[in-house]
Structure 1
């Protein structure tokens, strides 16, 4: 599921923007929702830290000591993939706004037609990104791995170890770099592990483990810092051991 976040100091604008977005999701048959809205930049930042967010719409003048530009800067420190869209009547900030890898700048007052253009661009960009990033090229060898075959990636000292359906591959590369290059179905679940959520079959919260096959022979750890974000992906129900066979992994 695609999760959208809205932050604006005007509650009326927040409510209207949320309703228009939800109607556009229905119109375009998108598996998406407005998962969080707030007039407070700090609560918005905390939500982004602990949840998987696809796109965030930010007002620039938030009537706070933290502006939308400040908030975008802090968000970029923790998430390099989220789509940032500024909404503001202050057109003089357009050039500055794009400093934060901004996807779009929508002038206020916002029209539903202009908003729809942005949503369509986001969806097309996600589709293009999935096509372009279908394969991973290892940096120290002429080896290309199909992303669909990767269960999880482990940081082992200076090396990265890719565990796939058939074997493991080792390469020397930056963990942070590979994290930013992978598509949204790869989630950081531990300081030393990235999991492909499409491959997860079970979650054991007693032992903080995720499993990648029905016999539970392939697994990696869940770190406390990353647990909420991983659980949110599966709408986790709180059981100690969760079988994920019935979960729609496209969400």
Structure 2
């Protein structure tokens, strides 16, 4: 038998707007912002296309892959993420239903077997690529608003000291770090991570041991930051396993 596979599934920005109870123009605005982040990270942008409305006019829309959809709706409410995840499950179920045609001869049967094995390899590669996203979504499901260093470390499955060492690792370029220590040893957030929306920082006031008022920077991680860290950690662990 030969199995005729379908094209890669995408979800339109209009469908996302419908499932998320948002105006389509606002979803497009969010995708424009997402594309700016993709450009900074040298990632493939979301593809734009046109559709014809009931009034006969042509308007823009976007076509998103599953990974791009997850990137987009990560910052939305939990109920929205659930609805989108359920919709993707429906799309993938449709794609999993093959169209079967009987081979006409022995050579066709052999070609069908090779094609089937190649399809399995491609599917496994896609699953491996999406695993970091799945781990990231699991991590942020427990995060409501911004979280402190200890809570963030727990969310991504690390001890606090191990997490701080990972965020400040001097063996990484500054662009890949999240925090650094100033001359007094206090942890500070890198400005580029603040600009990316991954962390926030403000001064915290307290009374020192000498009875005087003191201030110190207080770093907190946004849900998007927790997502990004969980994804990076999963990617690092996957590379370590491949190297074994």
- TM beyond 0.5: no
Task: Select the structure of larger CA radius of gyration.
Answer: 2
Instruction: Name the one with the larger helix percent.
Output: 2
What is the TM-score of this pair, normalised by structure 2? 0.27
What is the TM-score of this pair, normalised by structure 1? 0.26
Instruction: Name the one with the larger strand percent.
Output: 1
